[in-house]
Structure 1
Amino acid sequence: MKIYSVKVLLESIVVPNPDLNKTFEETIRLVKAGSKDEIEQKVRDYFVDETYENALGGQTTWRFVTILDIFEVIDEFEEDIDFKEVYCRFLPFERLITASEVIELYSLEK
């Protein structure tokens, strides 16, 4: 198995959303896979929608949007590193915005 660094974009969906805010999360995870071709399905299986009650009594759902980047890591690891997070940042907006606009605005696909 090879180890890959996979950059993923997640989207927060809040219902109700009285302030019309939008938050995305960019995260980089280490993923073990036999090849790059296996990664997309493995990532989709891992990042299933997660919904919880938020502080306002509504619902917040974190949803997988897209894989932004993949590259093979050549280091060797002794412990289990599958889906270990190595980087993350939240991208909050004070307006509704689409994932495509966020990717363009922050050049996330690079």
Structure 2
Amino acid sequence: MKIYSVKILLESIVVPNPNGGKTFEETIRLVKAFTKEELEQKVRNYFVDETYENALGGQTTWRFVTILDIFELIDDFAGDIDFKEVYSRFLPFEQLITANEVIELYSLAK
């Protein structure tokens, strides 16, 4: 089984959205899989929509947008490393913006 570093983009959907802004999260996770195809399916199955009540009494949903990059690691790790987060940053915007615009603006797919 191989170990991959997977860069993922998540999107926050807030209803109602009184500020009119948008937040995305770029995160890098370690994932074990035999092939890239298995890896991609495993990521899609892991990142299902997660909805919760926010501080304003509305609903916030975190949604998987896309896999930005996949890198196979050559190191071996002891223990369970599946979906361990090694990097994350939030990308808040004061206006509505699409995932494709964020990817282009921050060169996330490179």
Scaled by the length of structure 1, the TM-score of the pair is 0.99
SS at match of 1:45: helix
Trace 1:90-101 onto structure 2 (pairs within 5 A): 90-101=90-101
Scaled by the length of structure 2, the TM-score of the pair is 0.99
Trace 1:1-110 onto structure 2 (pairs within 5 A): 1-110=1-110
Alpha-carbon distance in structure 1 between the residues aligned to 2:99 and 2:89 = 15
Which contiguous aligned blocks of 4+ residues in structure 1 show a shift greater than 3 angstroms? none
Tell me by how many angstroms 1:40 deviates. Answer: 1.2
* RMSD (Å) for aligned C-alpha atoms: 0.4
Q: Identical aligned pairs, as a percentage? A: 85
Unpaired runs of 5+ in structure 2? Answer: none
SS at match of 2:52: strand
Matched residue pairs, number? 110
Alpha-carbon distance in structure 2 between the residues aligned to 1:37 and 1:54 = 35
Unpaired runs of 5+ in structure 1? Answer: none
Amino acid aligned to 1:29: R
